[in-house]
Amino acid sequence: MNNSSAISSRAVATWVFIGVGMLLVQVILGGITRLTGSGLSITEWNVVTGTLPPLNQQQWVTEFEKYKQTQQFYLLHANFNLSDFKFIFFWEWFHRFWARMVGVVFIVGFVYLLWKKELKQSMVKPLLILFCLGALQGAVGWIMVKSGLVGDAIYVQPTKLAMHFIFALGLICYAFWFALELSVSKAKMVCNASLRGWTAIIIIVLFFQLMVGALMAGHKAAAVASTWPTINGDWIPPALFKESPWFINFVENKVTIHFVHRGLAYLLFVMVLVWFVKAKKIANASPLFEKCRYLPLAFVLAQILLGILAVLQSPSITANHWGLFEWIAQFHQFTAMIFLLTMLFMLYLLKITPGENVARLKMGA
């Protein structure tokens, strides 16, 4: 790669990394929106006209009246005044506003880099896929919100919430991988097919864990068992398969979802511990890999600790109140995303073929 191509790739990579950071913030805002019960405060999806919040008293009253027609208001927030409504409206509006800003950053950046001729032909297709994934994520978000505005629903459907979260993670991972391809040279990679395969398996298990975590959040299942290490005194709860057919328990039964979430956490810890032992044994690892191979174990330990603290603090959950549980839950979600990106980074670093690696090592790369 010549110097001008390297500069071009760095510019595009920086732009995409900024987008990844903004997407992470977007998911965090989504978590705040959920924890504050704000997700159904805006009952319409106006892509353009919804950019600005209500600007006068009459507009606020109009929006409040729309919210009053929902089952959530009728059953949960009938005591809300306009000030209460403005609080939950802000978080949902800001969540949507930030999503629009992510779109603006990507579109404006794309046009600017295209104009400056920084984009190579090989970059265009991945970027178009990225735009399509972003648009799809917005549509999935509205489908999720709509699920809480129909019939007698007072919350969004947990399965729709999980789908929205997983789509967001898929978008973030795709953008992150693309940015890595533009910014991390092959000289920094490591040859180890066995560890690369193990890393891929961990990522697959982690995706399932994150999906179950989203179901936990959607069902508010943390409080169903606020004890640790047992689940309400049992290692294996007796009500795991009380629903019929049996498989519906994995998406509807709070106890089952809670049990699976804990079990996958322990499984991931063991898998990452094995990964770390394997990674420590690699000879001639690149300096970058040597510095970063401690991160998966650190993040999985932090994630488990935050999960335990969230469970123990779940009895303190109070409606419409942000307390210690909400802080822990938010950090729990954020750490999970960083853990996922760390494993993806490890997978990328373990991508090189043996011949390329040996040749580069001989060259002193």
pTM of the model: 0.90
116-147 in b/e form (b: 16+ CB < 10 A) is: eebbeeebeeebeebeebbeebbebbeebbbb
* CA separation for the pair 273, 265 (Å, rounded): 12
Write down the pLDDT at residue 353. Answer: 62
**131-182 confidence digits (pLDDT tens):** 888 888 888 888 888 888 887 778 889 899 999 999 999 999 999 999 999 8
Write down the pLDDT at residue 186. Answer: 80
* CA separation for the pair 162, 76 (Å, rounded): 23
Please, which pLDDT band fits residue 101 given cuts at 50, 70 and 90? very high
Of the chain, the percentage scoring pLDDT greater than 70 comes to 94
**320-337 confidence digits (pLDDT tens):** 788 899 999 999 999 999
With contact defined as beta carbons under 8 Å apart, do 141 and 164 qualify? yes
DSSP state of 128: H
**E strand or H helix at 156, and its extent?**
none
Q: How far apart are the first and last CA of the chain?
A: 15
With contact defined as beta carbons under 8 Å apart, do 335 and 298 qualify? no
Of the chain, the percentage scoring pLDDT greater than 90 comes to 62
| Amino acid (one-letter) located at 196 | R
Give me the mean pLDDT over the 289-306 stretch: 95
Place of tokens 């790369």: 365
**298-321 confidence digits (pLDDT tens):** 999 999 999 999 999 999 888 778
